Amino acid sequence: MKIYLGNLSRNVTDEQLRELAAPFGKVVAANVARERTGESKGFGFIDFGSAGEGQAAITGLNGSDLDGQRLKVSEARSQSNRSFPGGRRY
């Protein structure tokens, strides 16, 4: 299961996300989304080995503090479920 973490501090690293998620289960991948310049976009994703682990992380991390920022955590939406301005899909 993939979860989304929003409102990340610009200083948060992939490794910090991995450490944050580890108590909830097997972390398959943890990534901070980055601009082409390498600067953080302020959100990231964590992949867990199971849906139960991902749900536990959502419950445990949503609203928690990381590097002075209150996290917004939810299940990641698939790319096909995202819409763009004007309702267009690409």
Provide the residue range defining the domain that includes 60: 2-70
CATH of the domain at 58: 3.30.70.330
**76 in any annotated domain:** no
Q: Average pLDDT for residues 43-64, to the nearest whole number?
A: 97
**13 in any annotated domain:** yes
Cα 73 to chain centroid, rounded: 7
What predicted TM-score, i.e. pTM, was given to this entire model?
0.85
From residue 81, give the alpha-carbon distance in Å to each of 78, 84, 86: 5, 10, 15
Does position 70 have pLDDT exceeding 60, yes or no? yes
- Beta bridge pairs of residue 70: 65
Q: Check residue 90 and give its pLDDT.
A: 46
Number of domain units in the chain: 1
**34 in any annotated domain:** yes
For 1-51, what is each residue's pLDDT tens digit? Answer: 999 999 999 999 999 999 999 999 999 999 999 999 999 999 999 999 999
The one-character DSSP state at 55 is H
Phi first, then psi: give them for residue 6, nearest 5 degrees.
-110, 165
